[in-house]
Homo-oligomer: A and B are copies of this chain.
Amino acid sequence: MEKNLIRAISVVFLVFMGGIQSENYVMADDFRPSSVNQPGSEYPKVNESGQVRVQISAPDARYVQLDIGGVKYDLEKDENGVWTGESSPQDEGFHYYQLNIDGASVPDPGSLYFFGANRWGSGIEVPASDEEIFALRNVPQGQIHEISFPSESTNSIKRAYVYTPAEYHLERNRRYPVLYLQHGYGENETSWPNQGRVNRIMDNLIADGKAKPFIIVMAYGMTNEIEFGRIMDFDIKPFQTVLIDELMPYIDSNFRTVSSPSHRAMAGLSMGAFETRLVTLNRPDVFTYYGLFSGGIYTPEDLENHDQLKLVFLSCGSKERPDRIKGAVEELKNEGFNAVSYISEGTAHEFHTWRRSLHQLAPLLFRDLD
């Protein structure tokens, strides 16, 4: 009862304070372990307001800080040398973070690790109103395959991940369409299958009859080989060669795909959207469904010669630039394109926006196919 009251007050406060940088929130004392903690770890914890609380034993430290969302929060030490402290409320969904111990930036030993910001580091899950979209449910489960494919153009063997739906392993003569799905800057081929929860999102949609079963290929976009400040100098050609001339033929011979543009989609988040845009514009003959999550738009002029195009999907968080997305989609629709916009309410340029975007895009893919 009391807890519900506190929760209600928190919500009211959050609604009032939403969008304002302020410390005037109610600190509800309902902290629970994050769902992506190390096995058996009590900390980090999260409360209903979205505050993150961390704890670490560091008896001889001068100071310890929680570094999340670009802000450092001081922890306090108890008589046993254990430091505890919390952040202000964070948006729902997944966030990268780290600890600062006497000037050393280190992962929190209590959390699982995720690749983002160009390194494996700590992640936390602030419970989301729609977290059932990626919950582990008792439905048929697909697989995530780690593959290693030869890349002559880069003289290397590259790693990628492939999602196959549950029925792929039972219906052994059936072939499936493919979505190529790209991560953002500072991330890699593990980011979509790990923090993106691709398999859970797809397993649930397929089990509920909301999406057709299809294959998803997640490759490293070679995005991190350029400094962040020089991203606009990024040359798409090396990655485009790996993707289309090397990875795609490998996928088509090692998985039961339908190898035709009508059965192929490409989407990406942030810099992966930037890549998706460039690749689809350079090669209108390869894909027929395009998705950009938090990373650019298409104009009607861009798509003039895209005669086979079936869908353009543009999305972002409500804390990004939603008007730009909506405007671009309106313009495309006016010119007769099948375009869809999606705005993730209450989220910014983070993975929860992109999980939701995939969850919205997937039901629209390949649905005209038998």
Contacts and interface: CB of A to CB of B under 8 A. Distances in A.
Nearest to A59: B103
A4 B339 CA distance: 65
Nearest to A99: B106
Given A120-B113, A121-B109, A57 B104 contact: yes
Given A40-B118, A104-B58, A106-B109, A157 B143 contact: no
Interface stretch (A147-155, A276-284, A298-306, A313-321): A147-155
Given A119-B38, A120-B38, A109 B101 contact: no
A128 interface: no
Interface residues of A, number: 53
Interface stretch (A12-20, A25-33, A60-68, A286-294): A60-68
Interface in A101-135: 101-109, 112-113, 118-121
A144 B160 CA distance: 11
A255 interface: yes
B119 A39 contact: yes
Contacts of A120: 38, 112-113
A254 B167 CA distance: 9
Contact of A103 (B38, B58, B103, B112): B58
A230 interface: no
B148 A136 contact: yes
Contacts of A64: 104
Nearest to A224: B39
A253 interface: yes
A335 interface: no
A113 B119 CA distance: 11
A172 interface: yes
A145 B145 contact: yes
A100 to B, nearest CB: 9
